[in-house]
Amino acid sequence: MKKFLKGLAALILLLLIAGFLYVQLIAVPGQDAKMNPVTDHAPYPVSETAQALHNQLYIADLHADNLLWRRDSTKRQSRGHVDLPRLRDGGVELQVFSAVTKSPRGLNFDGNDADAPDDITLLAKAQLWPLRTWNSIYERAAYQAQRLQKIEANPNNKLVIIRRASDLNQTDDILAGLLLTEGAHPLEGKIENIKRLYDEGYRAMGLQHFFDNELGGSLHGRSQAGLTDFGRQAVLEMRRQGIIIDVAHSSRQTVRDVLALTPDPIFISHGGTISHCPRTANRNLPDDILLEIAARGGIIGIGYFDGAICDISPKGIAKAIIDAVKLLGEDAVALGSDFDGTVTTSLDTSELAAITHELLALGMTEDTIRKVMGENARRFFAENLPQ
């Protein structure tokens, strides 16, 4: 009997080890690859003229979620959309890294309950994030910032986290990274957490994600409400600290309340225009709000995903950018990929020259291409980051 029990215990231990290894080596990477695919495609056409122009551009992307996934971002990966080698292949000099900290099951554009099952709790456990992150939304934001800090700490990685406007002035071989929270629920209802996140390196904060939170209504929440009293307090404190506000997932009323509360420019890190793609009304803000953001000196990042634009091909992205420029002006439009944001894209960040090619082919001038591919974003952050 003792031998049997020992053998049974050994078998159970082996099964547990095998299950653990399966989850870590197969299931987690497989889920990442499944949730962040690139459509199969032949190499996209890039003319010599377009490539020569692309090589001269300052390129900035306002939104990527790769800090969420358990990958070594310093090495080229075979899954997902973003890592340092592919960013450099694409000519990117400024990348906004967004921290996703809570995400309701389903990610429904049409409506989500704030208390719906949270996929990030499962992901944090499956990816063996520190125990402190399992039950704390704040700690998830802090942990993702610390992941980027570790990359920055190794000079071989040639990455600098942007903390003030002067940090934007880097040599061509240094990648600038700017930290953004996807929604302000990491505050956990505590105004003092704004300073704690600022100290971790965050210089931009989204107010909502896919659900209503303590600050107010989400574009995809149930209430469609505006800012709460805590939300008003938080917005004013963010601006006092020098944190820029992103309203990519905020309800229409929340955005109107922010515009009425503060004269400071705000931005949309990833989205599109309803006038270009009418079926995106449950994901994008109305044109009149976008026009007010632009008139205030803000910028709108055009996403590469279905839901933000109607056609996710390089030509479709270029058409969405061109229509946004026609609506908002050439100084208010930027790139906002949403790479690694549980989206399907037609290209990864190494292939951005295909967008430059299509913008040229569709008749956009070189000066305007320079602006939308990165100069607008660089100017916006230079004017609105702490000096």
So what's the pLDDT on residue 326? Answer: 98
Q: What is the rounded distance in angstroms from the CA atom of residue 213 to the CA atom of residue 118?
A: 14
CB hemisphere CA count around 146 (13 angstroms) = 10
Report the topology of domain 47-384. TIM Barrel (3.20.20)
So what's the pLDDT on residue 10? Answer: 57
So what's the pLDDT on residue 105? Answer: 83
Is the backbone of residue 107 left (phi > 0), alpha (psi -120 to 50) or beta?
left
- Ordered by start, the domain boundaries in the chain are 1-35, 47-384
Q: For residue 372, give the DSSP letter.
A: I
DSSP 236-257: HHHHHHTPEEE-TTB-HHHHHH
Burial label, 158 (beta-carbon count in 10 A; 0-12, 13-18, 19+): middle
So what's the pLDDT on residue 97? Answer: 98
Strand-strand pairing, 175-181 and 92-99:
parallel
Two tokens at 277? 């793609």
User: Can you give 330-343 as a three-state secondary structure string?
Assistant: CCCEEECCCECCCC
pLDDT per residue as tens, the chain (387 positions): 666 556 655 556 555 455 555 455 555 666 777 889 999 999 999 999 999 999 999 999 999 999 999 999 999 999 999 999 999 999 999 999 999 999 988 777 878 888 888 999 999 999 999 999 999 999 999 999 999 999 999 999 999 999 999 999 988 799 999 999 999 999 999 999 999 999 999 999 999 999 999 999 999 999 999 999 999 999 999 999 999 999 999 999 999 999 999 999 999 999 999 999 999 999 999 999 999 999 999 999 999 999 999 999 999 999 999 999 999 999 999 999 999 999 999 999 999 999 999 999 999 999 999 999 999 999 999 999 998
So what's the pLDDT on residue 363? Answer: 98
Residues 6+ apart with CB under 8 A from 12: none
Alpha helices in the chain (DSSP H): 2-22, 28-35, 48-56, 84-89, 119-126, 137-153, 193-199, 229-241, 252-261, 287-295, 314-328, 353-361, 366-370, 376-384
